[in-house]
C-alpha cells in the first residue's frame, strides 16, 4: 500500500515521541543520581566525630551539612593544634535551626573554625561560642571563633558569642579574605585588640549587631583595615580599656587602622553607633588610618570617651596612623605602631552625631558638620547588664 503524506507525517510524530521518551528514560537516572549527590549530610545531635567526617567529605566533594535542630555540639578536644574542627579547604555549608557549636568550658584552648586560602564556609542559623584562640605565640592568637585566612566566610542568621583571643579578633579575624554577615550578631567576645571583629580584607554586614564586645588596647567592637560596609547594623555597648583612662585605649565601637600594612575605607549606611565606651579616645569611632570614612543616614550617639576634654566621645579623627601586626616584622620585633598622618576624610551625609561625652567630635574641625546639631552630655557608664 502506498504511503500517503498523512501516514508519513504520523510515523514521524510517533518516532519523535518514542525518541523523546527514550531520552527521558535515559536522563532520569542521572538526574536522580545528581539529586542524591546533593542531598545534605545529616549529623546526629552532638556527634562530633560525624561532624568532623562530614566536613572532611565536604572539603573534597562540596555540599551541605545539616545539623540537628535545637542541639548543642560540644567540642572537648581539638581536631588539630589550633582548631576544634577540620580546616576548611573546600566549599562547606553548615546549616542548623537553633543549633550551637561550642568548645567545652574546661577544654584546652582552640578556636572553632579555620578557613584556609581558597576555602569557603557558610553557616546558617547557628550559634558559635566558647572558642579560644591558643594564647601562644601571641601574634598568632587571632580569631577565637572564626579565622578566615584568604578564604570566604558567609554567616546568615548566626550568632558569634563568648569567644576570645589574646591578640586580635576575639570573635572573627578576616585576614585578606571575604567576610559576609547577614542578620548576624557578634557579641560578648573579648581580645586585646578588636573584641568583636578584625578585618583587613573585604567585609560586608547587613542587619544584625556588633554588641557588648570588649578589648583592652584598641577597637572594642570592630577593627577595620580593609574595605568594609555596614548596612542597617547596630554597633552598641562595646568597650575598650580598663578601669583607668589611657590614651592607648582607643575606639570603643569602631577603629580604623592598618593591619599587616593593609588598610581600607569604611562606610556606614543606616547604622547606629550607640552606647560604646573608650577609656581613652574615640568612644564611638576612632579614625586611625589614611582612608575615608563615610556615614550615610547613620547616627552616632550616647558614646563616651574617658580620656578627658577633647577625647572625642562620638568620633575622634586622630592625627596618628595606628597599625598592628600578626607576624614579626623585619628588624626589632614589633607588635603595634603609630606614626603621624594627615587628617583623614570623614563624610557625614544625612547623618547625626549628638549627645556624646565629653564632646561629639575631636579635634575641633576634624569632622566637617559634626557639631551641626549641638552637643549634649551623655552618661559614660555602661547600661545595666552590659560589659
- Residue 327: predicted pLDDT: 86
- Residue 328: predicted pLDDT: 79
Mean pLDDT across the stretch 268-291?
Answer: 96
pLDDT tens sequence across 204-245: 999 999 999 999 999 999 999 999 999 999 999 999 986 554
- Residue 44: predicted pLDDT: 98
- Residue 243: predicted pLDDT: 53
pLDDT tens sequence across 25-48: 344 455 554 445 568 999 999 999
> Average per-residue pLDDT in the chain?
87
Burial of 152 (0-12, 13-18, 19+ CB in 10 A): buried
- Using the predicted structure, report yes or no on whether residue 335 has a pLDDT greater than 80: no
pLDDT band of residue 376 (cuts 50, 70, 90) is: very low
- Residue 343: predicted pLDDT: 75
- Using the predicted structure, report yes or no on whether residue 171 has a pLDDT greater than 90: yes
- Residue 248: predicted pLDDT: 81
Q: Which three cell numbers stand for residue 224?
A: 577595620
- Residue 297: predicted pLDDT: 98
- Residue 375: predicted pLDDT: 40
pLDDT tens sequence across 88-131: 999 999 999 999 999 999 999 999 999 999 999 999 999 999 99
User: Bigger pLDDT: 90 or 15?
Assistant: 90
Do 176 and 262 contact (CB within 8 A), yes or no?
A: yes
Terminal-to-terminal C-alpha distance of the chain: 96
User: Bigger pLDDT: 305 or 371?
Assistant: 305
Angle, CA 314 vertex, CA 311 and CA 316 arms, to 5°:
50
139 DSSP assignment: G
- Residue 3: predicted pLDDT: 54
Mean pLDDT across the stretch 73-88?
Answer: 97
pTM of the full structure: 0.86
d(CA 287, CA 273): 14
5 DSSP assignment: H
**Calculated CA dihedral for residues 263, 141, 283, 341, nearest 10 degrees:** -30
- Using the predicted structure, report yes or no on whether residue 1 has a pLDDT greater than 70: no
- Residue 153: predicted pLDDT: 98
- Using the predicted structure, report yes or no on whether residue 347 has a pLDDT greater than 50: yes
15 DSSP assignment: H
Mean pLDDT across the stretch 60-80?
Answer: 97
Mean pLDDT across the stretch 11-37?
Answer: 44
As a whole-number percent, the residues of the chain with pLDDT over 90 amount to: 78
- Using the predicted structure, report yes or no on whether residue 196 has a pLDDT greater than 70: yes
- Residue 378: predicted pLDDT: 41
Per-residue burial over 275-310, b if 16 or more Cβ lie within 10 Å, else e, is bbbbbbbbbbbbbbbebebbbeebbbbbbbbbbeee
pLDDT tens sequence across 127-138: 999 999 999 999
As a whole-number percent, the residues of the chain with pLDDT over 70 amount to: 81
The length of the chain, given as a count of residues: 387
Amino acid at each position: 500500500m502506498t504511503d500517503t503524506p498523512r501516514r508519513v507525517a504520523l510515523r514521524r510524530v510517533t518516532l519523535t515521541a518514542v525518541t523523546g521518551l527514550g531520552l527521558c528514560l535515559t536522563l532520569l537516572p542521572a538526574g536522580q543520581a545528581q539529586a542524591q549527590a546533593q542531598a545534605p549530610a545529616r549529623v546526629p545531635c552532638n556527634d562530633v566525630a560525624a561532624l568532623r567526617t562530614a566536613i572532611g567529605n565536604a572539603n573534597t566533594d562540596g555540599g551541605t551539612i545539616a545539623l540537628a535542630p535545637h542541639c548543642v555540639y560540644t567540642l572537648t578536644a581539638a581536631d588539630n593544634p589550633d582548631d576544634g574542627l577540620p580546616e576548611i579547604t573546600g566549599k562547606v555549608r553548615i546549616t542548623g535551626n537553633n543549633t550551637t557549636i561550642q568548645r567545652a568550658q574546661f577544654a584546652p584552648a582552640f578556636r572553632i573554625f579555620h578557613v584556609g586560602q581558597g576555602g569557603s564556609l557558610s553557616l546558617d542559623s547557628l550559634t558559635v561560642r566558647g572558642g579560644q584562640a591558643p594564647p601562644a605565640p601571641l601574634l598568632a592568637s587571632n580569631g577565637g571563633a572564626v579565622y578566615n585566612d584568604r578564604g570566604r566566610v558567609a554567616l546568615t542568621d548566626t550568632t558569634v558569642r563568648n569567644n576570645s583571643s589574646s591578640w586580635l579578633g576575639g570573635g572573627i579575624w578576616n585576614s585578606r579574605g571575604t567576610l559576609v554577615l547577614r542578620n548576624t550578631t557578634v557579641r560578648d567576645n573579648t581580645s586585646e585588640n578588636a573584641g568583636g571583629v578584625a578585618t583587613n580584607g573585604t567585609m560586608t554586614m547587613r542587619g544584625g549587631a556588633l554588641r557588648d564586645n570588649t578589648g583592652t588596647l584598641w577597637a572594642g567592637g570592630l577593627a577595620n583595615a580593609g574595605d568594609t560596609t555596614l548596612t542597617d547594623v547596630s554597633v552598641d555597648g562595646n568597650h575598650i580599656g580598663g578601669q583607668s583612662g589611657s590614651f592607648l585605649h582607643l575606639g570603643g565601637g569602631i577603629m580604623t587602622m592598618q593591619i599587616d600594612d593593609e588598610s581600607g575605607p569604611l562606610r556606614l549606611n543606616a547604622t547606629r553607633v550607640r552606647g560604646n565606651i573608650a577609656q581613652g579616645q574615640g568612644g564611638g569611632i576612632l579614625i586611625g588610618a589614611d582612608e575615608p570614612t563615610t556615614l550615610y543616614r547613620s547616627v552616632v550617639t550616647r558614646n563616651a570617651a574617658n580620656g578627658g576634654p577633647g577625647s572625642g566621645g562620638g568620633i575622634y579623627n586622630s592625627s596618628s596612623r595606628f597599625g598592628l601586626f600578626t607576624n614579626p616584622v623585619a628588624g626589632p620585633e614589633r607588635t603595634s605602631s603609630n606614626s603621624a598622618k594627615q587628617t583623614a576624610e570623614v563624610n557625614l551625609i544625612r547623618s547625626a552625631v549628638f549627645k556624646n561625652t565629653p564632646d561629639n567630635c575631636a579635634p575641633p574641625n576634624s569632622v566637617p558638620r559634626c557639631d551641626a546639631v549641638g552637643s549634649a552630655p551623655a552618661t559614660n557608664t555602661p547600661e545595666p547588664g552590659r560589659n
